[in-house]
Structure 1
Amino acid sequence: MGFFADNNLNVELVRFDGGVKCFNALINQQVDFATSSETVVMFNSFKRTDFSVIASFVESDNDVKLLSLTPEKYRQLNNIANTRIGIVKGSASEFFLDTLLIMYNKTHLPIDRVYLTSDQLIPALLNDRVDIISAWEPLGYMLSEHMSQAADIINSRGLYHLSFNLIGLKHTSVDEKHKLALLKAISDATVYTHKHPKHAQKIISQVLNITPSQIEYSWADYTFRLSLSNALFSNIQTQSQWAIDNQLVPVENRVDFRQVFDRKLLETFNNKEAGW
């Protein structure tokens, strides 16, 4: 739609498969900015604080789900006892499962955690290596293509909030003027998305080379807005305690996550937009 050019930016979109690879590209200075989930931010904050979360631009409270080929069998969560659950270790997949078990007081249930990569989850389910998977979209959509019913085991909307965030290095050659212009371009795109959702879906479908039905499947689950909310900060803190409790990170490296939130830039942008 030309929003970058309208804000005097010449932007190249460099695609990587997942937030971990995006983050690594940023650290290796292959890119000036990257996008990732808050989980990637949390884990990397234990290793380094030379990067900043500039803004969150999309959120979803229904992105990660428990999925099964026989979901009706597990509607009562007690029935997941002694099942094999496919999980991506140390990720939103595992955090979501643990949160669900705590929320419903089911942490005592014996389950067999089968650790897999994200691209192994659906094949493992289809080949009867696991009974359930804890997975994020678009895996729910992909599984629905093999079934005549929804694959969700339980309505988990609101249990876990996933955010997609713009991150950058603290010491960079990109000045504040261009960072503000980047936020303005994203803001313009967000406004357009709200005003013209069908056309936005069409553009996304074409750019990502995926079917319109896949976009429509989860579109209502996403909230498009620029923010750096206290909820995001609290979410990262909660995830960090979970990572410490499960010995996924070194406890001696515990950090103050305020070090990786650049609230000043977004506040400057918002004040400028408001004409203050």
Structure 2
Amino acid sequence: MNTMLLRVFTIAAAAALASAWWLHGTATTPLALRLGTTRTPFSAVVWLAASRGYFSAEGLAVTVVPYGSGKLALAEMLAGKVDFATAADTPIMFALVSDLPLRVLATIGTSIDATEVVARRDRGIATGRDLAGHRVGLVQGTTSQYFLDTFLEVAGLAAGAIERVALETDDLAPALADGRVDAIAAWAPYSVRAKALLGDRAVTMRAGSMYRWTWNLVASGVGDNPGAAGVLRALRRAAADLQADPDGVATEIAGPLGMPAESLPEEWRHTRFAVTIDQALLVNLEMQARWAIGCGLARPGAVPDFLPAMAPGPLRAIDPALVTLIDGKDRR
């Protein structure tokens, strides 16, 4: 082989090796993502998927970013601070009626009777009707606000029968304990903290099957959402684990959730963890939009069509049976 041919061969071999190294490195580099969620029992599958390496198994380097509420996580996602967020249907509804660009990828948990009113017995409150004339703390733009109106209706009280006091999530329990409010509409862990502070002075009231809400995975409605299918697969594995062994899972993730492990299975008793997207979500969003418009919390007009905000594609690719939206697509 002459010198010129040897030089050409050497350059070609080096280029091939460099190309192979680059392709290998690219293929094995995890996709970095940020997922905003809460330290609440409803976000358990997110923390469990991270704890057990299920995101990593999908080739994802997911950083879980905690927020005080799904409303805050949703706002940060819309601001581009995180790639995905978990949020309840109420803040999702408020975002969509405000024409904010977001996609609902899946429901990861459905709760019945998981939000409650915690009230002070020493303020003369024993039943729902006793709330009349009292100050009730709530977190505006969240399930706390929608639940409270639902609870008042179930109790036979008019919406104006109470004085509403807007609070942040972390201030719910302290405000009730120090007497700034007489009751709060809250979910765990904030309701749990309130009951612990009040002791035997606490009265707990729920709305029963009249109140159903969902915890959902959402992403930006602008551009693509790379990694969505991998995130959904990881959450499905975590949901199956939690349903199969709630006590073991409670011990594992009590730390990130900031709750005693022994209290978590009782909170999870109100929630079914499964990664799906169904027609009931659309119906719930429409019902809440009617409430928001009727209360003057959203601009007047017709209830928006929420179907375009549903993004079942990644979940349908995993298993079409997980998608039961009436959207004209094949679900075989």
Secondary structure in 1 matching 2:158: coil
Deviations 1:206-239 (A, max 9, x none): 3334432342441322211012222222211111
Superposition pairs of residues 91-106 of structure 1, within 5 angstroms: 91-106=142-157
Q: Is the 8 A contact 2:74 2:87 kept in 1?
A: yes
RMSD: 2.6
**Which amino acid is 1:118 matched to?**
T
Whole-angstrom CA distance in 1 between matches of 2:80 and 2:203: 39
Q: Deviations over 1:176-202 (max 9, x none)?
A: xx3222211111111111222222112
2:257 to 203, 208, 213: 208
Secondary structure at 1:247 match in 2: coil
CA 265–49 in structure 1, closer or farther in 2 if over 3 Å, else same: farther
The CA deviation at 1:20 is 2.3
Q: Does the alignment pair 1:182 with 2:268?
A: no
Query: Which residue matches 1:136?
Result: 187
Q: What one-letter code is carried by the residue in structure 2 that aligns with 1:204?
A: I
Q: Any conservation in 1 of the 2:153–2:159 contact (CA below 8 Å)? A: no
Find the aligned partners of 2:74 and 2:106 in 1 and give their Cα distance.
15
| 1:71 CA drift (Å) | 8.2
**Of the candidates 276, 284, 298, which is equivalent to residue 235 of structure 1?**
284
Which consecutive residues of structure 1, in runs of 5 or more, have no partner in the other structure? none
User: How many angstroms apart in 1 are the aligned matches of 2:129 and 2:78?
Assistant: 43
- Distance change in 2, residues 1:9/1:107 (3 Å): same
Partner of 2:34: none
Cα pair distance change 1:183/1:147, threshold 3 Å: same
How far did residue 249 of structure 1 move?
1.4
The within-5 A match list for 1:214-233 is: 214-233=263-282
Question: Deviation string for 1:85-112 (max 9, x for gaps)?
Answer: 2222343222112112223432277322
Cα distance change on mapping 1:189 and 1:104 into 2, 3 Å: same
Q: What TM-score do the two structures reach when normalised by structure 1?
A: 0.87
TM-score for both structures, normalised by structure 2: 0.73
| Shift in CA distance, 150/179, structure 1 to aligned 2, threshold 3 Å | farther
Report which stretch shifted further, 234-243 or 73-82.
73-82
Deviations 1:28-82 (A, max 9, x none): 2222211111111101002225321000111221221111121895444332222
Contact 1:90/1:243, CA 8 A, preserved across alignment? no
The DSSP-based 3-state class of the residue aligned with 2:282 is: helix
Q: Which runs of 5+ in 2 are unaligned?
A: 1-51, 323-331
| Equivalent position of 2:86 in the other structure | 35
- Asked whether the equivalents of residues 247 and 265 of structure 2 are also in contact (C-alpha less than 8 Å), the reply is no
Q: Which has the higher contact order (CA 8 A, sep 6+)?
A: 1
Counterparts of 1:115 and 1:181, CA distance in 2: 38
Deviations 1:238-263 (A, max 9, x none): 11111111111112585211121113
Q: Does 1:26 align with 2:77?
A: yes
- Are the counterparts in 2 of residues 36 and 167 from structure 1 also a CA contact under 8 Å? yes
Q: 2:4 matched to which residue of 1?
A: none
Q: Which secondary structure does the structure 2 equivalent of 1:249 belong to?
A: coil
Residue aligning to 2:105: 54
Offset at residue 173 of structure 1 (A) = 4.3
Aligned to 2:48: none
Tell me if 1:65 matches 2:116: yes
Identity of aligned residues (%): 25
Q: Which residue of structure 2 lines up, in the alignment, with residue 262 of structure 1?
A: 311
Structure number, greater radius of gyration: 2
Q: SS state of the match for residue 204, structure 1?
A: helix
Mapped partners of 2:124, 2:93: distance in 1: 35
Deviates more, 1:12-21 or 1:218-227: 12-21
Structure with the bigger percentage of strand: 2
With over 3 angstroms needed to count, the CA separation of the structure-2 counterparts of 1:20 and 1:159, relative to structure 1, is: same
